[in-house]
Structure 1
């Protein structure tokens, strides 16, 4: 069964829910990616980090499948690797068709350029990076893949004075990254309309805009939404549909 073609309006709504207010340039870039490569933020093909879009490994594999990729050959480059020190280099070749000569990409990984979350898995990270780079070359993906970034998602080291700074309110951040990620996960898992979820959240929190809600309010809403979606998705959909704008009918 083919995945539905990404709809930019739906993708843009999800992007704003996931990332907050995005600059116009970021939305334009997303629209171009969707139009050219049929990628989807909702499906997790791309992600937004530090002011830019990055393609994901799963997104590249889905793209390769849509384009009927003939095969991917991956092998370690042992002369540049140092297994005892967890340094690995891989070479990947993507064949777009049976007659294709191949698009080559190299990927390296070592403890100094991977996230702490994947330390000990440098060999697999290097392989993934090589495949990503080869796929990006083969299909003309101009943006970097998120797996190629070193130490992505690492928390910044606190300054000596940081302990003196009181906790900041969550207003304007939809309850913080973890709560926002959980909300987006629920939307993806249960295939909910992000616009309707946002309208329901505003009503649930009793604020004029979601960014005005406190962290506790957003956390309560996310817990409520997850519970309802799990127990009775159809009833939840009815509730969400009540927030749909009424469309005028032709006489």
Structure 2
């Protein structure tokens, strides 16, 4: 593999007090890119889906398309002050683009290990869900969704998601877009959302439920990619 001695790295997983509680292997974007070139990378294209501003929680969202000799692979990546380390905050747009490319590249080269750039690292460690919530009560959804630049495309933070407010129009649009990518549209999309949330009307879906659905749909790829963190 040309110039790719750093595909896999081992990082320390720390709790909120900074104590090392485990280690985990991750891949690097540079290593993924090198491996993709070795496997016949033809092109990488990216598009900015959402510009970060105050109305969306400074959340940047990118879409990436990777083409190799084996096919075309796509991925989304997001970055906001809520899911990057403090030193990356000034570079939100670039990080969102890198995360999108990393996700698409992982599919292209068939690597299920999460990319280091997809994680929220502070120092050498990270919290359980890739964020560092200010309120420990908001860590109820520390599942495996950060492995793929998932998320709350309209600036939905873990702190605002659980406050009982209803789903926003932006969340609704994003959910329908995610479902359309899965060929679920129109009445079928509505029925799917109602079934997943257990309500009888879209107007009854809460912000927290919508946020969880978004995380689950963006994170729903082949099980081989599922690793705990």
TM-score by length of 1: 0.42
Higher relative contact order (CA 8 A, sep 6+): 2
TM-score by length of 2: 0.46
